Amino acid sequence: MATIYDVAKAAGVSPKTVSRVLNDDAPVGRDTRKAVQDAMSRLGYVPSNAARVMRSNKSGLIGLITGAISNTPDHGDPRGLPELYIVQGVQDVFGREAKTLMISDTGGHSDRVPSLVSTFRQHRVEGLIYVADYHRQTRFEVRPGDPPVVLANCYDTVGTPSILPDDRICQHRLVARLIAAGHRRIGYLTLGASMDATRLRTEGYRDAHAEAGLPLDPAMIQEAYRDDHAPMTAALGRLLALPEPPTVICCGNDEMAMRPYGLLRTRGIEVPQRISIAGFDNYRAIAETLFPPLTTVELPYREMGRQAARRLLDIIAGTAPAATDPVRVPGPVVWRSSVTGVAGAAGT
């Protein structure tokens, strides 16, 4: 393997001149630079990254810990995809910044995280991003000497910089749009009550009603999330049995929204002619293939990844602005034909 001394001899220069060309840290004449570069090419010289890191304390490496690889589903199942989209957003930024992203997968075992952090420390990464599988609180221990950390899709109780979806604003935007289309009886089939997303989205649902001056009927909010169909069937039955049933039903996510389509049709209720349906996520494999296509709100996973990457770069550079964590990223409403306006409403 060629060394810096071999390159210097072949180019007819000193090893110090070769070092200057490699590190670009001092002026070198054009002809001399070309002679050194030609010699490196002929000899197949590969610079020592380890040596350069020791000199500059900058490896150009960023560590990312996720379960996106082991959790990536088959056959169009949307579970696991949020992590993958966040990773794609992270790579968008670091690819343009000439940083190398090193990805390590937990394999679904959170207890592996400390050892993965230790491995990244050995590789002298400049920073770390931890990506969670869904919006939740986590415990990511940062020890003295660890590289700076940014959390994506999760947060902790000690103020580690974090990027989250703005579930409250997303749901508020969706319900406000439904109200603008003339809907006044808006059912809501939620995710699990213990989830952060459910609490925040319910607050957004309430915010939109308050903003429009609409009374809130607690019976319109029903928990319906589980792997089996029974909770959804029962919750939908309770909504339809109300003296004034909903004209539109919001669902906790797009996967949940598929079930009311079929359940309503078995009762002879057409979507959206009699009851409209809205989802949450904008998972296109579902939203664009349902008939009619599903109105939903997009969770901005790729943008969350981009913001996490930019935040980490600012921290590394020492230019991070003061911020109140977590930073919440909103997404747009995607209006499709599963929702129709109520006759007589403005703009319908």
Instruction: Report the Cα–Cα distance between both ends of the chain, in Å, rounded.
Output: 73
Q: Mean pLDDT of all residues in the chain? A: 88
pLDDT digits (tens, 9 = 90+) for 55-114: 545 678 999 998 867 665 555 555 557 888 999 999 999 988 888 999 998 887 777 888
Percent of the chain's residues with pLDDT above 70: 90
Written as six digits, the tokens of 247 are 């004209």
Give me the pLDDT at residue 78, please. Answer: 52
Written as six digits, the tokens of 9 are 């001899």
Instruction: For residues 133 and 73, give the distance between their C-alpha atoms in angstroms, rounded to a whole number.
Output: 12
Q: How confident is the model at residue 208 (pLDDT cuts 50, 70, 90)?
A: very high
Q: How confident is the model at residue 175 (pLDDT cuts 50, 70, 90)?
A: very high
Determine whether 323 is exposed, middle or buried from the number of CB atoms within 10 Å of its CB (0-12, 13-18, 19+). Answer: exposed
Give me the pLDDT at residue 111, please. Answer: 77
Question: Is residue 46's pLDDT more than 70?
Answer: yes
Give me the pLDDT at residue 72, please. Answer: 56
The answer to whether 190 and 201 are in contact (CB under 8 A) is yes
Give me the pLDDT at residue 217, please. Answer: 96
Question: Is residue 26's pLDDT more than 80?
Answer: no
Domain map of the chain by residue range?
1-32, 61-165+301-329, 167-299
Average pLDDT over residues 316-340: 90
pLDDT digits (tens, 9 = 90+) for 191-206: 999 999 999 999 999 9
Residue with tokens 């009374």: 215
Give me the pLDDT at residue 4, please. Answer: 87
Question: Is residue 129's pLDDT more than 90?
Answer: yes
Question: Is residue 50's pLDDT more than 90?
Answer: no
Average pLDDT over residues 303-311: 96
- In angstroms and rounded to an integer, the radius of gyration of the C-alpha atoms of the chain is 27
Residue with tokens 């957003």: 89
The CATH architecture that domain 61-165+301-329 belongs to is 3-Layer(aba) Sandwich (3.40)
The answer to whether 151 and 161 are in contact (CB under 8 A) is yes
Q: How far apart, in Å, are the Cα atoms of 81 and each of 24, 60, 73?
A: 41, 27, 7
pLDDT digits (tens, 9 = 90+) for 235-262: 999 999 999 999 999 999 999 999 999 9
Domain 61-165+301-329 matches domain 167-299 at the CATH topology level = yes
Average pLDDT over residues 150-158: 93
Give me the pLDDT at residue 155, please. Answer: 93
Q: How confident is the model at residue 348 (pLDDT cuts 50, 70, 90)?
A: very low
Written as six digits, the tokens of 193 are 């009550």
Determine whether 193 is exposed, middle or buried from the number of CB atoms within 10 Å of its CB (0-12, 13-18, 19+). Answer: exposed
Instruction: For residues 222 and 287, give the distance between their C-alpha atoms in angstroms, rounded to a whole number.
Output: 22
Average pLDDT over residues 291-316: 96
Average pLDDT over residues 1-10: 87
Give me the pLDDT at residue 56, please. Answer: 47
Instruction: For residues 309 and 320, give the distance between their C-alpha atoms in angstroms, rounded to a whole number.
Output: 12
What is the CATH code of the structural domain delimited by 167-299? 3.40.50.2300
